Structure 1
Amino acid sequence: MTGETSAIEAHRSSLRAMLGEDLVLTGIEEIARYCRDWHGDVSSSAVAVVRPRSTADVVAAVKACRELGLSIVPQGGNTGLALGATPDAPEREVVITLERMNRIRTIDPDDFSAVVEAGCILSELKDAIAEKGMFFPLALGAQGSCRIGGNVSTNAGGINVLRYGMTRELVLGLEVVLADGSLFEGLSTLRKDNRGIDLKQLFIGAEGTLGIITAVSVKLSPYPDNVATALLGLASLDDAISLFRRARRDCCDLMSAFEFMPPLAFTLAREAMPDLPIPISGDYPAYVLMEISGSGLVDVDDLMGRFLEGVMTDGLVVDGTIASSQTQARNLWLIREGMNEGQAKRGSHMRSDVSVPLSRLAAFVAEAEEAIGKALPNCISVSYGHVGDGNVHLNVLPPNDMTGKARTDIIYAAKNALNEVVDRYNGSISAEHGIGRLKRPDFESRLPETHRKLLTAVKTAIDPNLLLNPGCQLNLSAIS
């Protein structure tokens, strides 16, 4: 047994003694699923995986790791796309997963709020809230697996940002275990509380680098039981931007989603779901998946019909279909979801999550696809995303027969070509997925010095021993 292996085994024995056998996993096979990323592109290991059942257990685990000199990688559903919850130092890191902490503490329809533990799966949380006649609007492709603590830690976006905002806008309060084992108790459900700096905001989007979120109080809305969904064919992405402006005027705040997709979306969706019905021709240059929703006395079907009649008369929309049932609406959204699955079936590829000013979105996509086409003429660009918030997912698919290092090099080159265009448009290299470990070098290379100093000061003030998620977002040893 080598010295390093001996030290790891000693740490594992200590953790089991301090926390109990029930909370600590150490077997190679049983910890494997906690030590790889969502797509299976990256695998690692850890000293152990700790699975607390309560906030008190999290406090005990943090104190134990601190005493043993071990770093902590907090983890929710492990569905992130930036390696923010993937350990990368197996000999000195412990994964603390919140998956067992999945209780819904309260749902209060009169207060339009709920208090839930961090390990609640998003779809299960939404269903429980819906049973009370209320609505939690966060909606992601991974909502059947992701957990609310991870959503908050990454400030997740999704398809309803246009109307309801990012996760940050949906959080009323937080309970957080800090690096020294103390507890930040901020589970307020107040809408107005102007008592100085809003400390909960520090932990939203921090990806577990400042504390471990154990519970969240969230803002609820009336359930939108009236929903109209339409898939539209357009002559160009420029027309999609014009359509969005008009929809914002005519449909106002009832518009909850406005997604754009390329014609390739249908091919990719069918590759993932061969029996998926496609109710519109695949020959148009651009497509929009649009949804408006409301509750009570609002007639969204009439609104959608009148809106589409006007824009089709004016030639802004060439073709379209409106879902006449929940099943048809679900099938339309499956095209959007299936497009992602179809890309995954083609193997590892460059996945991006960028944002640019909405007014320049169409020009950005054209310029970025042109730049990638010139640099990598044998690759396929797939651009889609959320028109209403300027968020573009421009992915690049290498040739199917390309493998190994050649494929990795193509992905790296595509990322650099894209980011150069993002910089010219004063955009962001991460719109909704976070920084994690995957985007850290690109993030750090673009940090203004004042921004860098502030981030470092916050991190070292709250976590002076760099216990929490080291290497995620910032490499402090390189910038301190």
Structure 2
Amino acid sequence: MATADTVARLRSTLGAGGVLTGADAGPFSHDWPHEIAWTPLCVARPADRDGVVEVLRIAREDRVPVVPVGGNTGLSGGTKGEGAIMLSLERMNRIRDIRHDARTMTVEAGVVLQTIREAAAAHDLVFPLTFGAQGSARIGGCLATNAGGSNVVRYGSARALCLGIEVVLASGEVLDLMSSVRKDNTGYDLRDLFIGSEGTLGVITAAVLRLFPRPETYATAMVAAPDLAAALTILNRLQSGTGGQVEAFEYMPRNYIEAWKAHRPETGEPFAQPYDVNLLVEIGASAGADADARLEDLLAAMMDEGLVLDATFARSEAQRRAMWARREAAGELTVLRPHVLLNDVSLPLENVAGFVARILPALREIDPGVDDFLMSHLGDGNVHYNIWPSRGDPALHERLRARMEDLVAEMGGSFSAEHGIGVSKLGAMARRKDQVALDVMRRIRAALDPDGLLNPGKTVPEA
């Protein structure tokens, strides 16, 4: 039973600065879009792994739920914690080592993603996980949600970028999987079980990350295509023509560009005239001198074929950053209108164009006034398909979301690509996930957390 005594015991263990309550816990009392709010018991801020063990011991003894939280930048309600101990890893923010020759970095779970990227760059290496919230997101949360972002097309999601992890289980036991080897066939791959589990199976406290050679240069361009089918051809031609050096291939439709212009009127159009299919393309090359020329040659050849309608190139780092600022504003642009239904779907690459063509007419059969706002990591088939309903009607919202899920399933896709399940997609999990898979997940969860104290009510729906 959660009582003031629980908070007092936590303070005694972690120190006065290790526990937040009342107004001080405010930043941990809502999700990033401010659509879901709750009142936690407190925020526990351990400074090391042993502190995490103690928090879980006290929670277990007092039967208080624990919700692990990183930068709290999630979009699926995965840190909702009514009456819970919010377990913040923010004080566990040390980079333990960087091994240049082995191309690894060992970090604690509270290190901010951007800090990791900057530390890698200082050693002429790159940690390629990148997305709009990288200045706030912490690596523990990135791993717990198997975060994706803009560079998945070349490097993969967070799971592919992690060699080892350390996890504190609900029992208080420490699971040491901090290996830095690339090959390890010693039984079940427990590391991958915890990555993407959203804090429901254990608390990730440290990780060994993979680093990569830093490209000597980036060739970056905005490209206009006649349609999404042509965009897929452009992607494949660029991959073949550069030997797989495409770092990012992002799609922004017309209404995205219009929203950006309204939000930042000083920026203007990416091209001399407006286009419906706007692509942000980036290539990372080790042969720095010819990267821009190679990209220009490839796009020029496709322009002669009618696959490319227009292109503008970043001639400086400032121009490159301006191109990326447009794309990385997706989060702030999406919530400019009320009642937005945030969605994060993935599709086979060949079905993205068909989905985009069919989905809005299908939704307007339910709500004639509905509009959409999408952007896409087109290189890996991830579409952030956000719905703007005509009114704030929960029943209507559920029908719209279900219709979208129907089409995604029909086209061989997934209703959750990179944002995780949290509470927002529990209904979809119950409806769409294979029932045997759900049963296996429930059994795993019950085995590792028999009291159901770790991030309860998230990720896996009850039977």
State the TM-score bracket (shorter-chain normalisation).
over 0.9
For residues 365-404 of structure 1, the aligned pairs below 5 Å read 365-399=356-390, 402=391
Alignment correspondent of 1:11: 6
**CA distance in structure 2 between the aligned counterparts of 1:359 and 1:184, rounded to whole angstroms:** 41
Deviations 1:354-380, CA, capped at 9 Å, x for gaps: 011111110111111221133222122
Q: CA deviation at 1:18?
A: 4.2
For 1:111, the aligned partner's letter is A
Does residue 162 in structure 1 map to residue 162 in structure 2? no
**CA distance in structure 1 between the aligned counterparts of 2:268 and 2:213, rounded to whole angstroms:** 31
Does residue 454 in structure 1 map to residue 440 in structure 2? yes
Q: Is the 8 A contact 2:168 2:174 kept in 1?
A: yes
**Cα distance change, pair 457–339 in 1 and its aligned pair in 2 (3 A):** closer
Q: CA deviation at 1:276?
A: 2.2
Alignment correspondent of 1:36: 30
Q: Which moved more, 1:286-295 or 1:343-352?
A: 343-352
**CA distance in structure 2 between the aligned counterparts of 1:60 and 1:298, rounded to whole angstroms:** 54
**CA distance in structure 2 between the aligned counterparts of 1:218 and 1:134, rounded to whole angstroms:** 12
For residues 319-398 of structure 1, the aligned pairs below 5 Å read 319-398=310-389
Normalised by the length of structure 2, the TM-score is 0.96
Q: Is the 8 A contact 2:95 2:106 kept in 1?
A: yes
Q: CA deviation at 1:394?
A: 1.2
Does residue 419 in structure 1 map to residue 414 in structure 2? no
Does residue 305 in structure 1 map to residue 296 in structure 2? yes
Q: Which moved more, 1:228-237 or 1:294-303?
A: 294-303
Which aligned segments of 4 or more residues in structure 1 are displaced greater than 6 angstroms? Answer: none
**Which of 443, 454, 457 lines up with 1:471 in the alignment?**
457
Alignment correspondent of 2:133: 142
SS at match of 1:150: helix
Deviations 1:257-314, CA, capped at 9 Å, x for gaps: 1111101122111233232243314522211111111225673112101111110011
Q: Is the 8 A contact 1:227 1:293 kept in 2?
A: yes
Alignment RMSD, CA only?
A: 1.7
Does residue 315 in structure 1 map to residue 306 in structure 2? yes
**Cα distance change, pair 60–339 in 1 and its aligned pair in 2 (3 A):** closer
Alignment correspondent of 1:55: 49
Q: CA deviation at 1:339?
A: 4.1
Deviations 1:200-230, CA, capped at 9 Å, x for gaps: 1111000001110111100000111310011
Q: CA deviation at 1:71?
A: 1.1
**CA distance in structure 2 between the aligned counterparts of 1:20 and 1:339, rounded to whole angstroms:** 39
Deviations 1:409-454, CA, capped at 9 Å, x for gaps: 5543321221111121121110011111110111122222321221
SS at match of 2:207: strand
Deviations 1:54-75, CA, capped at 9 Å, x for gaps: 1111111111111111111000
**CA distance in structure 1 between the aligned counterparts of 2:246 and 2:422, rounded to whole angstroms:** 32
SS at match of 1:299: helix
Alignment correspondent of 1:22: 17
For residues 220-239 of structure 1, the aligned pairs below 5 Å read 220-239=211-230
**CA distance in structure 1 between the aligned counterparts of 2:59 and 2:267, rounded to whole angstroms:** 49
**CA distance in structure 1 between the aligned counterparts of 2:273 and 2:149, rounded to whole angstroms:** 25
Deviations 1:135-176, CA, capped at 9 Å, x for gaps: 000001100100000000000000000000011000000011
**Which of 277, 296, 302 lines up with 1:286 in the alignment?**
277
**CA distance in structure 1 between the aligned counterparts of 2:108 and 2:263, rounded to whole angstroms:** 34
Unaligned regions of 5+ residues in structure 1, if any?
none
For residues 58-97 of structure 1, the aligned pairs below 5 Å read 58-87=52-81, 89-90=82-83, 93-97=84-88
**Which of 202, 210, 227 lines up with 2:201 in the alignment?**
210
For 2:406, the aligned partner's letter is E
Q: Is the 8 A contact 1:350 1:412 kept in 2?
A: no
**CA distance in structure 1 between the aligned counterparts of 2:403 and 2:273, rounded to whole angstroms:** 29
**Cα distance change, pair 62–232 in 1 and its aligned pair in 2 (3 A):** same
Q: CA deviation at 1:41?
A: 0.9
Q: Is the 8 A contact 2:132 2:331 kept in 1?
A: no
SS at match of 1:375: coil
Q: CA deviation at 1:198?
A: 1.8
Q: Which moved more, 1:108-117 or 1:340-349?
A: 340-349
Does residue 274 in structure 1 map to residue 274 in structure 2? no
**CA distance in structure 2 between the aligned counterparts of 1:429 and 1:414, rounded to whole angstroms:** 13
Q: CA deviation at 1:96?
A: 0.3
Q: Is the 8 A contact 1:272 1:341 kept in 2?
A: no
Q: Is the 8 A contact 2:330 2:375 kept in 1?
A: no
Alignment correspondent of 1:182: 173
Alignment correspondent of 1:173: 164
Deviations 1:227-249, CA, capped at 9 Å, x for gaps: 00111111112211222222222
Q: CA deviation at 1:21?
A: 2.5
Alignment correspondent of 2:431: 445
For 2:183, the aligned partner's letter is K
Q: CA deviation at 1:189?
A: 1.0
Q: CA deviation at 1:343?
A: 2.5
**CA distance in structure 1 between the aligned counterparts of 2:398 and 2:443, rounded to whole angstroms:** 31
For 1:260, the aligned partner's letter is Y
**CA distance in structure 2 between the aligned counterparts of 1:281 and 1:348, rounded to whole angstroms:** 34
Q: Which moved more, 1:272-281 or 1:460-469?
A: 272-281
Q: Which moved more, 1:321-330 or 1:270-279?
A: 270-279
